[in-house]
Structure 1
Amino acid sequence: MPSDADFIIPLYDRHAQAYDRLRGRSLFEKSWLDAFAALLPENAAVLDIGCGMGEPLARDLIARGLAVTGIDSSPQLIAMARARFPRQNWVVADMRMLSLGRTFDGLLAWDSFFHLTPDDQRAMFAIFRGHAAPRAVLMFTSGPAQGEASGAFEGEPLYHASLDPDEYRALLEAHGFRVVRHIADDPACNGHTVWLAQRI
């Protein structure tokens, strides 16, 4: 039987215009983006995994002088990103099968990775490692505790899942990353649970 997780990709593509309209641009994520960028070398190459239409996060990274490659499974959202930021690299791809044949100084999976099932999340850490240059910085959001939940977007189920925090730590360590900073339900970031790690 299909689960709500199976409908994430078509949901975002079908409602791309609504997502673009509703996605906040206030950049409440700025303090975390500052911490992420502070660990990067000058003119770093960043892989934005689940980039959507490139706003507001990729826009901020581009404004910092970073070279952004954005991947998203929605052709509609990637088309918007290409139109807005034509000098960057935008690719339609499913993160679960990502194999770009190159590495990046920074990897970002903000409000995207947590739409995967627990098993798919576990498998993503090898993909993160495979695209991580030496000393690469990885930042992603998760849930605060292990579990699965479905919210709603445009009247359709919107799937989320999270592993236990100890499992995220173990997966990061097993794939050569150390946790630099982690806050669950960060009140300064609209309640997001954020992980910032660096390849060792």
Structure 2
Amino acid sequence: MKASDRIVSLYEDNAEAWDRMRGRDLHERPWLDRFLMRIPPGGTILDIGCGMGEPIAHYLIERGFRVTGVDSSPSLIAMCRSRFPAQQWLVADVRELALGRRFDGLIAWHSAFFHLTPEDQRPLFARLSGHARPGAALMFTSGPYHGEEIGEWQGEPLYHGSLGPDEYRLLLEASGFGDVVHAARDPECGSATVWLASLACSTASP
């Protein structure tokens, strides 16, 4: 099996290990706050690749936002439902996402784009646009350049894929997202490469 095809089952097989190992220091806070500034108070957020809900979704919930989390791992989603029962948690593959709803914000932090092949990432932007209300914020992390890399986690290959910055900008624009803020390998956020954009108000209907 290719490393890119193993991602879903790798996290499911190691859900408890991921829960133990995932840091909760929330070094992502400055970017989360910038994201939330683009969302109305009490708004709805789609957390794509939410994992076990900590620390990202937990922070959003504490700030008074309503979270719908999706992840391909049933075990991680079960943890979310146990910890945050007032929110909605769904087992879903982002490549086939079709919730029939639009949100005020969409976030995919080290998840949807991070672990998909470049080929699978390209059509994702139009799918996300279809889940975004006019003016909705989108924030995601990617690699700093086009390519594929294989790391290691739990003794197995861990796949990462990315498009290049120019292609991300073109895909965002084509899907109606503008007002783009981009930081490559932000040293104040664990060297994450971050994208933040908003859907044009004329692109989608409520």
Give the alignment's TM-score, normalised by structure 1: 0.98
Contact 1:27–1:56 under 8 Å retained in 2: yes
Give the match for residue 170 of structure 1.
170
CA RMSD of aligned residues (A): 0.6
Note the C-alpha offset of 1:50. Answer: 0.2
Where in structure 2 are the equivalents of 1:14-163 lying within 5 Å? 14-113=13-112, 114-163=114-163
Amino acid at match of 2:58: R
Note the C-alpha offset of 1:179. Answer: 3.9
The answer to which structure has the higher helix fraction is 1
SS of residue matched to 1:69: strand
Give the match for residue 186 of structure 1.
186
Q: What is the CA deviation profile of residues 48-82 of structure 1, one whole-angstrom value per residue up to 9, with x for unaligned ones?
A: 00000000000000001000000000000000010
Report how many residues are paired: 199
Contact 1:179–1:195 under 8 Å retained in 2: no
Q: 2: CA distance between counterparts of 1:198 and 1:101?
A: 20
Q: 1: CA distance between counterparts of 2:117 and 2:88?
A: 27
Amino acid at match of 1:47: L
Q: What is the CA deviation profile of residues 106-140 of structure 1, one whole-angstrom value per residue up to 9, with x for unaligned ones?
A: 00000002100101100110111010000000000
The ranges of structure 1 where at least 4 consecutive aligned residues each deviate by more than 3 angstroms after the TM superposition are none
Amino acid at match of 2:99: L
Give the alignment's TM-score, normalised by structure 2: 0.95
Q: 2: CA distance between counterparts of 1:179 and 1:41?
A: 17
Q: 1: CA distance between counterparts of 2:68 and 2:122?
A: 23
Q: 2: CA distance between counterparts of 1:180 and 1:170?
A: 11
Q: 1: CA distance between counterparts of 2:164 and 2:144?
A: 8
Contact 1:115–1:159 under 8 Å retained in 2: yes
List alignment gaps of at least 5 residues for structure 1: none
List alignment gaps of at least 5 residues for structure 2: 201-206
Identity of aligned residues (%): 60
